């Protein structure tokens, strides 16, 4: 033992008791094995916790990425649908505005339906143009 520790050992009965018991416990193979097992379990628990945390973070990141992708896809779909509605409405309004005496509203409506313009868009265009 180092001289400084020996002085402390001689002057502090608590430290002396600790040193004696530590030496006794450290010399028992079962105790050393149990201590190593305890350390090993702590390490395994920490690794398992880190693995679970990484899995959760990965799931969250994947969910966010999927949500963004779905949002973009929905936005594009809605944008296309809105753009198509505007285009269809413009075509239908122009058809009703350009209504000639020889063409009936019925013929224009049938032509617009054949072009694939929805009935509600045709009705809106009819009201907007003042033909209906």
- Please report, in tens digits, the pLDDT of each residue of the chain (132 residues total): 788 889 999 999 999 999 988 888 888 889 889 989 999 999 999 999 999 999 999 998 888 888 887 877 776 566 556 677 788 888 888 887 877 666 788 888 888 888 888 888 888 888 888 766
CA 126 to chain centre: 45
Please report the pLDDT score of residue 123 as a whole number: 87
* Domain range enclosing 66: 3-129
The pLDDT of residue 100 = 64
How high is the pLDDT of residue 16?
92
DSSP-derived secondary structure for 63-119: HHHHHHHHHHHHHHHHHHHHHHHHHHHHHHHHHHHT--TTS-HHHHHHHHHHTT--H
What does the DSSP 8-state code read for residue 130?
Answer: T
Domain count, the chain: 1
pLDDT of residue 56: 93
* pLDDT of amino acid 63: 86
pTM for this model (two decimals): 0.38
Q: Which two tokens stand for residue 15?
A: 């430290």
Is 93 within 8 Å of 118 (Cβ atoms)? no
């Amino acid at each position: 033992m180092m001289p400084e520790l020996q002085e402390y050992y001689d002057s502090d009965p608590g430290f002396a008791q600790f040193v004696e018991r530590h030496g006794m416990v450290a010399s028992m193979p079962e105790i050393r094995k149990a201590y190593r097992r305890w350390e090993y379990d702590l390490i395994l628990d920490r690794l398992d916790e880190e693995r679970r945390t990484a899995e959760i973070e990965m799931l969250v990141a994947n969910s966010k990425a999927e949500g963004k992708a779905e949002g973009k896809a929905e936005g594009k779909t809605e944008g296309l649908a809105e753009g198509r509605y505007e285009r269809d409405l413009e075509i239908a309004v122009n058809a009703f505005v350009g209504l000639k005496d020889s063409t009936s509203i019925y013929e224009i409506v049938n032509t617009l339906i054949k072009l694939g313009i929805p009935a509600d868009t045709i009705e809106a265009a009819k009201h907007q143009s003042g033909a209906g």
